């Protein structure tokens, strides 16, 4: 979808738009801050361009159109070759029009395009003399940039010494990965500074900082390689003749970091259709990348085509940026809600001034815990940068501190549980009501009785409320001691409904251990983790006997989660004892207990206890889309249980570690990603045939 241009109705509105765009560009390129987000800026510049096309005699000299960095910055170190920006397209139609224009300019259709992600960072030129990094220069106004050589040695992927003693200039993008950005804000706030609003701002500010009391890492990705005036003539001639894809391969051989090692490496494509297919693939992978991208860069790959196309004052004519829908927008934080979960966790949630991101209207965003709010220095009324990519839950990156007016108010943390008024346990990052599960007993019991846990038909939330208010149930074990007379005493409980509920409760006693464990609602576990724990240990006794070190042998349980799970199980000991006494199953069918000698089924600390010889042994399987045929009636949780009974590991996301994707109707982006990564696909019928012995 084409990004709509801002509507400019007259000369006064045009002049104001130019002023706003120049100010935004100056803030963005100089320090990584801006009063507007990227999407708003793009729309504004498109509006300015449209006005100027209709009023060519009224173009203001300060207009950002046709200028590198919007004409907002200058530099004092001349570039040997102009360091230009890129023009943008926003739709397949605009891209097709650009390729047609390029073909007319060079006299033939382009037969080889280079396609690579447009990294959301700060462009720099790195000059090497005989293999040693001597100077770093920002893009500046395209003809000259700012010397930031003080940052040498602080940027990952930009070695101080190349693998070969060549004199060259490497161009690329300095950015912060998601992990580096989080670390940078932790360090920055620890030193009394305001958190950065987004990774790009963090990169721009950090790259220019000379006198900070701390340093934080950044990452470089190369996208260009060219000779310098004193480059050896043979090498200079060779570089001038190489295709862009070959230049990137040469850069990697020198030791420069490129996208080649990422899940979105640069590739070549021969046709417009192939380019657009790659654009869709990169867009599908965007949400899971460890760094930000805001589009896809498409270049004529061959040096001859580039030379024939030439460049304008702002951008090369042989390259274009295909902009993807914005995943970050600036909006206002109106309120913070404090919600209590079924295990007593008190979770903050941000209430936002509604904003549309990637086609979805965002009203709420996640806030992980009170410490997260404090670290980000969030205040009510703040303008905040909100990030959302694909199906990822929207999150607040940080306040846009330079837009503060002084009227923002501190966020007030609760002093007692907002649900029951009890005290709050603040000893961990995630606060919890001191009543724990009893604070939200109805939610906890309703969850336990759900289809993917104990599957007690007839025990919905309304019935649970009745049982709790009547004093008949105070924890999960009480469900299994209910009598016929007790149930008949409740309103709207006749003999038939009473007998049906008692039958369902009795049947729940035979559920596998994994479902019983999930029904207990141990913090730090869910359906998938409960299955892994149950299949690893095989019995509840083995689970309860495990210390933190032993618990870490289960795939996905680390040093932080293990002690919490062990402690939770100890707290639940009385309930577990009463469940066992009531006849509730405490074993996982088909699972083999770990060896007492090694603590595992083999020498691997994360080995499944019982996968050997099974059809999915050692495989990671993702199920997506609507199932059909023999699998039609299975819920997603039941599908995941099926995977693990057959020796596999279920996962909700597709990655290089995925072995198989079961793709039903409407599989969407997960199927596309599997195809991109070359992962085996199976239809529901094919999967059912593979697991015929496990599908009833």
Cα(201)–Cα(397) distance, integer angstroms: 11
- Asked if 670 is an active-site residue, the reply is no
Q: Are 521 and 345 within 8 A, CB to CB?
A: no
Which of 118, 323, 329, 673 is catalytic? The answer is 118
379-380 vs 319-323, strand pairing mode: unpaired
Report how far apart, in Å, the C-alpha atoms of 634 and of each of 75, 470, 514, 527 are: 63, 35, 17, 15
Q: Are 557 and 523 within 8 A, CB to CB?
A: no
- 8-state DSSP, 71: G
Residue 114 makes CB contacts below 8 A (sequence gap 6+) with 243, 244, 245, 248, 266, 267, 268, 297, 298, 299, 300, 301
By the 10 Å C-beta count (0-12 exposed, 13-18 middle, 19+ buried), 476 is classed as: buried
Q: Are 87 and 95 within 8 A, CB to CB?
A: no
Q: Residue 655, Cβ neighbours under 10 Å: how many?
A: 15
**Could you please report the per-residue DSSP string of 287-352?**
GG-SS-EEEEEEEE-SHHHHHHH-B-SSSBTTEEEEEPPPSEEEEEEEEEEEEE-TTSBEEEEEEE
Give which of 428, 369, 416 is closest to 568, Cα–Cα. 428
Q: Are 8 and 17 within 8 A, CB to CB?
A: yes
Report how far apart, in Å, the C-alpha atoms of 259 and of each of 73, 157, 220, 294, 490 are: 28, 11, 10, 15, 65
Q: Are 672 and 280 within 8 A, CB to CB?
A: yes
Cα(96)–Cα(539) distance, integer angstroms: 61
Please, which residues bridge with residue 113 across strands? 269, 300
Cα(124)–Cα(157) distance, integer angstroms: 13
Where in the sequence numbering do the catalytic residues fall? 118
């Amino acid at each position: 979808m084409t990004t709509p241009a801002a509507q400019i109705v007259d000369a006064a509105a045009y002049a104001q738009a130019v002023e706003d765009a120049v100010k935004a560009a100056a803030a963005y390129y100089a320090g990584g801050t801006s009063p507007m987000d990227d999407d708003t800026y793009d729309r504004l510049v498109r509006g300015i361009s449209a006005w100027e096309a209709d009023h060519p005699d009224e173009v203001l000299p300060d207009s950002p159109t046709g200028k590198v960095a919007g004409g907002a910055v200058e530099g004092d170190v001349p570039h040997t070759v102009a360091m230009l920006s890129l023009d943008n397209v926003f739709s397949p139609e605009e891209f097709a029009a650009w390729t047609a224009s390029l073909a007319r300019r060079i006299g033939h259709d382009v037969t080889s395009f280079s396609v690579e992600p447009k990294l959301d960072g700060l462009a720099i030129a790195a000059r090497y003399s005989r293999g040693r990094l001597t100077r770093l220069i920002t893009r500046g106004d395209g003809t000259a940039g700012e010397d930031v050589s003080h940052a040498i040695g602080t940027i990952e992927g930009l070695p101080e010494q190349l693998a070969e003693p060549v004199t060259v200039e490497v161009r690329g993008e300095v950015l912060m990965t998601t992990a580096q950005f989080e670390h940078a804000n932790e360090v920055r706030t620890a030193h009394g500074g305001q958190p950065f609003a987004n990774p790009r701002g963090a990169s721009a500010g950090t790259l220019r900082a000379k006198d900070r009391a701390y340093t934080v890492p950044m990452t470089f990705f190369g996208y260009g390689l060219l000779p310098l005036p004193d480059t050896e003539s043979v090498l200079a001639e060779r570089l001038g003749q190489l295709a862009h894809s070959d230049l990137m391969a040469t850069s990697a051989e020198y030791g420069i970091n490129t996208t080649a090692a990422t899940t979105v490496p640069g590739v070549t494509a021969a046709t417009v259709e192939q380019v657009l297919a790659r654009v869709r693939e990169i867009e599908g992978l965007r949400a899971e990348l460890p760094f930000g991208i805001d589009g896809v860069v498409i270049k004529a790959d061959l040096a001859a085509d580039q030379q024939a196309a030439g460049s304008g004052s702002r951008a090369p004519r042989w390259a274009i940026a295909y902009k993807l829908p914005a995943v970050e927008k600036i909006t206002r934080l109106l309120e913070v809600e404090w919600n209590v979960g079924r295990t007593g966790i008190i979770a903050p949630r941000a209430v936002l001034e509604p904003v549309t991101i990637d086609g979805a209207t965002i009203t709420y965003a996640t806030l992980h815990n009170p410490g997260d709010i404090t670290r980000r220095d969030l205040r009510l009324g703040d303008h905040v940068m909100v990030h959302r990519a694909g199906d990822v839950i929207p999150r607040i990156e940080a306040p846009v501190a330079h837009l503060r007016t002084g009227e923002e108010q501190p966020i007030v943390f609760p002093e007692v549980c907002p649900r029951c008024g009890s005290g709050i346990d603040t000893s961990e990052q995630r606060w919890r009501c001191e009543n724990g599960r009893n604070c939200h007993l109805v939610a906890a019991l309703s969850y336990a009785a759900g289809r993917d846990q104990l599957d007690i038909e007839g025990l919905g939330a309304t019935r649970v409320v009745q049982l709790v208010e009547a004093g008949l149930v105070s924890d999960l074990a009480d469900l299994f001691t209910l009598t016929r007379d007790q149930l008949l005493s409740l309103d709207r409980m006749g003999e038939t409904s009473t007998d049906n509920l008692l039958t369902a409760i009795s049947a729940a006693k035979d559920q596998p251990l994994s479902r019983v464990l999930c029904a207990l609602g141990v913090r730090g576990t869910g359906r998938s983790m409960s299955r892994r724990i149950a299949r690893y240990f095989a019995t509840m006794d083995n689970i309860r006997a495990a210390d933190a070190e032993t618990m870490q042998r289960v795939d996905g349980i680390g040093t932080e989660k293990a002690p919490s799970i062990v402690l939770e199980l100890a707290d639940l000991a009385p309930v577990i004892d009463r469940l066992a006494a009531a006849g509730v199953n405490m074993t996982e069918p088909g699972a083999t207990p770990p060896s007492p000698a090694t603590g595992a089924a083999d020498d691997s600390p994360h080995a499944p206890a019982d996968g050997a010889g099974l059809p999915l042994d050692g495989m990671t399987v993702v199920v997506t889309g609507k199932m059909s045929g023999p699998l039609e009636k299975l819920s997603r949780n039941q599908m995941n249980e099926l995977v693990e009974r057959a020796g596999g590991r279920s996962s909700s996301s597709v990655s290089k570690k995925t072995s198989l994707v079961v793709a039903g109707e409407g599989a969407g982006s997960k199927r596309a990603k599997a195809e991109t990564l070359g992962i085996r696909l199976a239809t529901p019928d094919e999967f059912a045939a593979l697991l015929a012995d496990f599908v009833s």
